[in-house]
Amino acid sequence: MNGFFDIPSDLQHSWLGLVGLHLREALLPVLAGLVVSLPLAQLCVRFRWLYPPVLWVTTVLYAIPSLAFFVLLIDYTGQTELTVMIPLTVYSLVVLVPAIVDGVRSVPQETLAAATAMGFGPVRRYLQVQLPIAVPAIIAGLRVATVSSISLVSVGTLIGNQGALGNLLNDANIYNRPELAVNAVLSMAALAILADGLLVGLRLLLTPWMPRRTRTKPKAGRPDPAVLALEDAAR
């Protein structure tokens, strides 16, 4: 009974159950982050002066360590999943907002003018022209946010076993079963790589007009801003 997938009963989940829990705790915040950052980014594009302060606030919030953030929230939301998911949502903003802003801004002026000339209103222009063109940048942001979210959920084990697969780490410690920790690390890495791959697939699906496989590098001047904003965020 000490096999790789034999999960101690105190966790009250099978391995698959833990995987499901982990995905929920990791992906819902990214989704929530996307829902928040889409309008926020649009505001930043519309009112340029808003962008620097928004960037500044998200960076400062991002600097708050996850464990500290969890602990400060316990007072309000208790030792629950929500306590883990709120900080993850906040962290995802630091990646997603710049990614979306840069993506939407990268839409050429002629394209916008053409859409307007064709009689597109602002809403329709946003949904049917700007967003689709920004998809690669948005997906690039989602990839980093998702991968780091999957990794960060495990810290939740420190606030009363709210870490899904991360709880295995605690059990590995208290029951002295290192194979559980191996299981946790490999499972989380596999989930992260899988999610990353699925997002790449989603991008190919959503942007059939993009050339496949070749990543065009910006020649000079500004680097790909999305890439850099993203590097800021992997934690």
Give the binding site for other proteins (CB under 8 A). 59-60, 62-69, 71-72, 74-75, 144, 147-148, 150-151, 154-155, 158-159, 166, 169-170, 172-173, 176, 178, 181-182, 184-185, 188-189, 192-193, 196, 215, 217-224, 227-228, 231-235
> Would you say 44 or 195 has its CB closer to other proteins?
195
Q: Minimal distance in Å, beta carbon 192 to other proteins?
A: 4
Residues in contact with 94: Cβ distance below 8 Å, sequence separation at least 6, in sequence order: 58, 59, 61, 62, 232, 233
Min separation Cβ 94 and other proteins, Å: 10
Tell me the CB-side half-sphere exposure of residue 14, using CA atoms within 13 A. 2
State in angstroms the smallest separation of the CB of 79 from other proteins.
9
Q: How far is CA 137 from the centre of its chain?
A: 13
The whole-angstrom separation of Cα 90 and Cα 36 is 10
Nearer to other proteins, 16 or 190 (CB): 190
The smaller minimum CB distance to other proteins, of residues 103 and 115, is found at: 103
Residues whose CB falls within 8 Å of the CB of residue 4, separated by 6 or more in sequence, listed in order: 179, 182, 183
CA 31 – CA 27 distance, rounded (Å): 6
